[in-house]
Amino acid sequence: MTPLNATPEPNMFASSRIAAVSAGFESFTHLIATTSTNVVLGEQARDGNTAPAVLVTDHQTEGRGRMGRVWQDDPGAQLLVSFRFAADPASASELASSVGIAAHEAAQEVLAVNVGMKWPNDLVVVDGPAPGKLAGLLAEYISGPPDTVIVGIGLNVSAISVPGATSLAESGSVATRDEVLAKMIDALAVLRDAGSSIRRELVSRSATIGTDVRVERHRDELVGRAVGIDESGCLLVDDGTEVHVVRVGDIVHLRSVP
**Same domain membership, residue 187 and residue 87:** yes
- The answer to whether residue 5 is domain-embedded is no
Exposure pattern of 108-122 as b/e (b: 16+ CB <10 Å)?
A: bbbbebebbbbbbbb
**Same domain membership, residue 228 and residue 108:** no
Helix (H, G, I), strand (E, B) or coil at 217: coil
- The answer to whether residue 233 is domain-embedded is yes
* Bridge partner residues of 228 (DSSP): 236
**Same domain membership, residue 216 and residue 99:** no
Which of these, 186, 172, 238, 154, lies nearest to 16 by C-alpha position?
186
The pLDDT score that the predictor gives to residue 147 is: 95
Which of these, 26, 34, 35, 27, lies nearest to 10 by C-alpha position?
27
| Domain, as residue range, for 155 | 10-205
State the Cα–Cα distance between residues 246 and 242, nearest whole angstrom: 12
**Same domain membership, residue 185 and residue 241:** no
Domain boundary among 189, 205, 221: 205
- The answer to whether residue 184 is domain-embedded is yes
Burial of 203 (0-12, 13-18, 19+ CB in 10 A): middle
- The answer to whether residue 3 is domain-embedded is no
- The answer to whether residue 240 is domain-embedded is yes
**Same domain membership, residue 217 and residue 196:** no
Name, in order, each residue with C-beta under 8 angstroms of 173's C-beta and a sequence gap of 6 or more.
110, 111
CATH number at residue 242: 2.30.30
**Same domain membership, residue 130 and residue 74:** yes
CB atoms within 10 A of CB 84: 30
**Same domain membership, residue 35 and residue 16:** yes
- The answer to whether residue 114 is domain-embedded is yes
CB atoms within 10 A of CB 228: 17
**Same domain membership, residue 86 and residue 38:** yes
**Same domain membership, residue 85 and residue 55:** yes
Domain boundary among 171, 188, 205: 205
Number of domains in the chain: 2
**Distance of CA 22 to CAs 15, 18, 19, 87, 214, Å?**
11, 6, 5, 20, 42
- The answer to whether residue 1 is domain-embedded is no
Q: What angle do CA 68, 28, 103 make, to 5 degrees?
A: 55
**Same domain membership, residue 251 and residue 137:** no
**Same domain membership, residue 174 and residue 69:** yes
**Same domain membership, residue 232 and residue 167:** no
- The answer to whether residue 64 is domain-embedded is yes
- Longest Cα separation, the chain: 58
CATH number at residue 145: 3.30.930.10
**DSSP secondary structure code for residue 210 in this structure:** T
pLDDT by 10s per residue, the chain, length 258: 456 776 666 678 999 999 999 999 999 999 999 999 999 999 999 999 999 999 999 999 986 655 555 566 778 899 999 999 999 888 888 899 999 999 999 999 999 999 999 999 999 999 999 999 999 999 999 998 899 999 999 999 998 888 889 999 999 999 999 999 999 999 999 997 665 688 899 999 999 999 999 999 888 899 999 999 998 889 999 999 999 999 988 899 996 544
